[in-house]
Amino acid sequence: MVPTRPGRPGSSGRWQSDRRSDSIRAMDHDEIRRRMLDRRRSLTPEAVAQASALVVERVRILSGYIDAALVASYMSRDGEIDPAELLRGKSPKVALPVTRTEEPLRFVIPDGPFELGPFGIRQPTTGRVVQPTEFEVVLVPLVAVDWSGNRLGHGAGYYDRTFAFRRDCDHPVLIGLAHRFQVVESIEPSPWDVPVDLIVTETGIFGRGIAPSAFPMGED
């Protein structure tokens, strides 16, 4: 079960309140999204690169990631945590999303050139297509996320539609990549939302209480 009280896991694995998290309980989704996007876009390229390097380092030591054969990732934009460095490893195989308007995401292990998609994000033009159910791990972009794993994206709903089947099972593991300031105290979920299992930031790895034990948790 998802904890009823948002918090972060301590060394015992229990959930503890986190007074450092931003207090954004009363804001609606549009207001949270606006504030987070403004803050993310204000980051310097150097700050984004530094945070991204730390997040990638943390992802690489997760045993669930190390043991995975197929991982879904994404191409970053507007100050998002950039996981592109993971594409340079030989294992696991990394697939990237191809976006088509009003359709679920299609994931491709690229083997050719990239093009700009509908939202100005680079995406593969050719490669091996991987079905969402084939992944062991999915690295998920986000605008904001709370301690219960409720994620706020850009509003188009692509990830929620593509991974709707995850509401009935625990595979693949969904890992949200975020700057620490993007983790807020509480986000009111919509009925169709699919929460993430883990949150990886530049300061630590956090679980929402149901992630597989293969993934260590904690904060620096």
Q: Model confidence over 148-194: pLDDT tens digits?
A: 899 998 877 889 999 999 988 889 999 999 999 999 888 888 888 89
Task: Count how many domains the chain has.
Answer: 1
Strands 137-140 and 173-177 turn out to be parallel
Q: Model confidence over 82-107: pLDDT tens digits?
A: 999 998 877 899 999 998 877 889 99
2: in domain: no
Instruction: List Cβ neighbours of 157 (8 Å cut-off, separation of 6 or more).
Output: 192
40: in domain: yes
138: in domain: yes
Helix (H, G, I), strand (E, B) or coil at 113: coil
Question: What is the spatial distance between Cα 220 and Cα 10, in angstroms, rounded to a whole number?
Answer: 11
Instruction: List Cβ neighbours of 175 (8 Å cut-off, separation of 6 or more).
Output: 59, 62, 137, 138, 139, 140, 196, 197, 198, 199, 200
83: in domain: yes
Q: Is 43 exposed, middle or buried (0-12, 13-18, 19+ CB in 10 A)?
A: middle
38: in domain: yes
**CATH number of the domain that 55 lies in?**
3.40.50.10420
Does this model's pTM top 0.85? My answer is no
Q: Model confidence over 45-78: pLDDT tens digits?
A: 999 999 999 999 999 999 899 999 999 999 999 9
192: in domain: yes
Nearest to 99 by CA among 122, 77, 82, 79: 122
pLDDT of 210 > 90? The answer is: no
9: in domain: no
For residue 181, give the amino acid letter: F
Instruction: List Cβ neighbours of 163 (8 Å cut-off, separation of 6 or more).
Output: 132, 138, 174, 194
215: in domain: no
* Tokens read off for 193: 């939302």
Show the domain range for 119. 26-208
